Chain A
Amino acid sequence: MNKIEPSFRPGGKFAKLESVYDGMETFLFTPNTTSRLGAHIHDGNDLKRTMITVVVALLPALLFGMYNIGYQHYLAIGQAHTGWFTMFLFGLLAMLPIIVVSYGVGLGIEFISAQIHHKEIQEGFLVTGILIPLIVPINTPLWMTAVATAFAVIFAKEVFGGTGMNIFNVALITRAFLFFAYPSRMSGDEAFVKVDSAFGLGDGTLADTFTGATPLGQVATNVGDSLQMTDILGKPISCMDAFIGFIPGSPGETSMIAILIGAAILLLTGIASWRIMCSVFVGGLGMAALAHALPSATYPASMLDPMTQLCLGGFAFGAVFMATDPVTGARTNVGQYIYGLLIGVFAILIRVYNSGYPEGMMLAILLMNAFAPLIDHCVVSSNIKRRARRAAAKE
């Protein structure tokens, strides 16, 4: 690396690729820069490590998501006894193009932007790039994912100044863009279960009883006083199925177990705020209990018991991986409780009382992203007032 370095510095042959070179070099080698002024020693942790740890925490959800895509597919074509490895392979092949597109488009824009501004490439997209495939329905056409990713990275992040400066969670903006620009492909029977083959693997015809609606989709369209969710072949499913994750849905969101493993990694390493994570669950549980106490056929989701509410859809995934994004969330300790609590409440509120949106987590987090600075402002203001009072008391 050191040998080829000069050609990437200003004046060199590839000076236009300086940021790319820097990105590669700092990826491969810890920077040799020593402290110039100020503290002479520094902690070993940097943003690369932080971001990679989040990616590691996402792996259980990713791996299970791949398996579940295969499982749902073979269930749909009536070959439920296919081996687990084939199922996983199918899911892997189905998801790979989306991951490649997400990272390709996002990192491409980051590289170009870094070069234009002559800055180092920032690590933020490492996490965003893996979050996007996990929250986008598996049947989303690749070009849509590409357009949405580009939109989110440019307009939700780069225009604000890049990693650490954005107001809204970039991955959620990607999903929101898809959700509002192509609503027909984002819900309903065809979005969440991959029925066609992946690179030639898993050919077959659909079972007659197939219906691809997610449990929350079924809830939203439920009519009458009784509520029974079914799997894609029409068999009833329980809260336990949702907890383990063998239900249709976005790849990352279905398995509560995989998400909880990720949550444990994030909390143990101290990267995610336990204040936010816990208060989202508390807020969601409270609101779900309230809704469940007043069940109504007009709002079928109110018939779900609180635990099932939390296990279904993207609630847990959002609480663990999205709400805890430190950049877009509240930054003060007190603020984090309020922020998390309101996300939980709003997610269930939207889910239950707005029949247009079977899932409320995305909108709840984006809404609170917008309010996080206000919450922090109020918390910090109380500190300012305390200081002012202290000064006034002296006079």
Chain B
Amino acid sequence: MATVRLKKGFDIHLVGAISDGTIVTASLPQSVAVVPDDFHGVIPRMEKKEGEHVIAGEPLYHDKNYEAIKVVAPVSGTIKEVRRGERRHIDAIIISPDQNSEALTHDLKRPAEEVLLGSGLWAMMRQRPYDVVPVPGVRPRDVFVTAFDSAPLAPDLGIVLGDKRKYIAKGVEVLNGMTDGKVYIGIREGQDLEAPGAEVTTFVGPHPAGNVGIQAANTVPVNKGETVWTMDIITLARIGELFSTGKVSHDTVVAVDGEMVQQPRYVQTVMGADLETVLKNELTNVAKSRIISGNVLTGVKVEASQWLRAPYRHVTIIPENNKPDEFMGWASLNPKRFSIYRTFTTWLGGLSKPVSMDSRIKGGERAIVRTGEYDAMLPMDIYGEFLIKAIISGDIDKMEQLGIYEIAPEDFALAEFADTSKLELQHIVRVGLDKLRAEMS
């Protein structure tokens, strides 16, 4: 078993961490939603209408270009609303769940690709390049799976996995049959994981060591013209379960934590469950809170009236601007004003103590001035700053040469946090990837 040591990056310790692994079971959600934005690269074409009844696992919509890619209902119930935004963009498909625990059973005698595409699990995988839902018919060079999440306050994926870990071996077997290469699983030091048939690599180092793209770049990097699939261990176990039982499980455990959470804990619920059910007693101070589905670096800001988003096993609640009109913050000598740089005094007290951070950007957007900031947060053989500049200037050749095929927006999340010039790096990378993808197809 190989071990990779990563030096770059930084572990942000926030207050509001979960202290023990007890799992609380949430009640049946009042509503469950599928948000098409969670499946980047899939352009939805509805298969069901408002008012129709669906059972768990039944397709709600398919992709415009590849009809085989289905996105399915996580629970059985009635489609209450297909909520549309600007230009008829589908914001969410909302289902009123019923008590029926019926789920669609898949015929496992068909080719694995067909089963995966129809089960909705295909849409939960991602591919590099472009960080989108994989294109059907393309055999991936390798498959990369991360078995841990290193983001701030991230859940222990071992707890989220629970007794589903017994399906990992089957999942690896299925994926091995779909690639000419290997199935790589990245674990953290000391993590206990049985995965026969997979190439397990231990990653030692700070965040973003848990990002699957960072793991891929430090084992077998993605080259131009190659495709790899990426996912986390939960999706892998779901694939294993599908090919063991014929059914997809949409049950999930999410970590609910952050400074504004009174009792940080794990909650057992279902994908896409409404936050009012999941958070229950935590929604006392909504006006001063920012609810994030996901972690503070890559997650999505959601309202209390919305739902868990598909890619995340995590809800973080942090204060929304808890220090309005901070007087001359740039001159502050307060050690509590968190900065990883020594221009502030935080480092004197140590940077590994849990800190409180709110949602302010704490500065104006500027041109890139300081050097090396992005590189220090990106453990890849990539000149981050030059790549970002190439993306901003729309230079497609340069983007390719500098390694855009290896990255996803999430890989730049930590750099975005640390950026003195306050640029929206993840957004810039996403725009660049989408542009490149449009150009290449």
Contacts and interface: CB of A to CB of B under 8 A. Distances in A.
Contacts, number: 205
A40 B364 contact: no
Contact of B360 (A30, A273, A390): A30
Interface string B1-40: 0000000000010100000000000000000000000000
Best-surrounded residue of B298, B328, B330 (most CB of chain A within 10 A): B330
A40 B381 contact: no
Given A27-B328, A32-B325, A384-B402, A41 B318 contact: yes
Interface size class of B (residues with CB under 8 A): 35 or more
A394 B405 CA distance: 16
Interface string B361-405: 111111111111001000001110110000000000000011100
A27 B330 CA distance: 8
Contacts of B346: 44
Contacts of A123: 366
Interface residues of A, number: 59
A28 interface: yes
B424 to A, nearest CB: 5
* Most chain B beta-carbon contacts within 10 A, residue among A45, A162, A327: A45
B257 to A, nearest CB: 14
A163 B426 CA distance: 23
Given A32-B360, A164-B366, A44 B327 contact: no
A286 B400 CA distance: 40
A298 interface: no
B426 A40 contact: no
Given A31-B363, A391-B223, A43 B338 contact: yes
A34 B223 contact: no
Given A43-B419, A45-B341, A269-B341, A384 B401 contact: yes
Interface string A233-277: 000000000000000000000000000000000001111010000
Contact of A44 (B298, B359, B362): B362
Interface in A190-212: none
A43 to B, nearest CB: 5
A383 B402 contact: yes
Interface string B257-270: 00000000000000
Interface string A369-395: 000000010001001101110110010
B91 interface: no
Given A38-B413, A384-B401, A47 B420 contact: yes
A390 B381 CA distance: 12
Q: How would you classify the secondary structure of chain A's contact residues: helix, strand, loop or mixed?
A: loop
Interface string A31-54: 111111111111111111110110
Given A273-B371, A383-B402, A45 B344 contact: yes
B228 interface: no
Interface in A274-316: none
Contacts of A116: none
Contacts of B362: 30-31, 42-46
B359 to A, nearest CB: 4
A327 to B, nearest CB: 6
A387 B416 contact: no
A27 B326 CA distance: 11
B343 A387 contact: no
Contact of B368 (A31, A33, A164, A388): A164
B139 interface: no
Nearest to A326: B371
B371 A269 contact: no
B324 interface: yes
A122 interface: yes
Interface string A146-164: 0000000000000001111
Select the residue from A30, A43, A326, A388 with max chain B CB neighbours within 10 A: A43
A164 B417 contact: no
Contacts of B330: 30, 46, 48-49, 52
B342 interface: yes
A270 B341 contact: yes
B296 interface: yes
Given A44-B338, A164-B367, A37 B361 contact: no
The winner among B331, B366, B372, B426 for most chain A CB atoms within 10 A is B366
Interface in B207-242: 221, 223-226
A39 B374 CA distance: 14
Contacts of A384: 401-402
Nearest 7 pairs between A and B by C-beta?
Answer: A46-B363, A164-B367, A30-B329, A391-B223, A48-B330, A44-B339, A30-B326
23 contacts: A28-B328, A29-B327, A30-B325, A30-B363, A34-B320, A34-B358, A35-B359, A38-B427, A41-B152, A43-B419, A46-B362, A48-B330, A124-B369, A268-B342, A273-B371, A326-B369, A326-B370, A331-B386, A332-B383, A384-B401, A387-B401, A387-B402, A390-B223
Interface of B: 12, 14, 152, 221, 223-226, 290, 292, 296-299, 301, 316, 318, 320-321, 323-332, 337-344, 346, 357-372, 375, 381-383, 385-386, 401-403, 409, 413, 416-422, 424-427
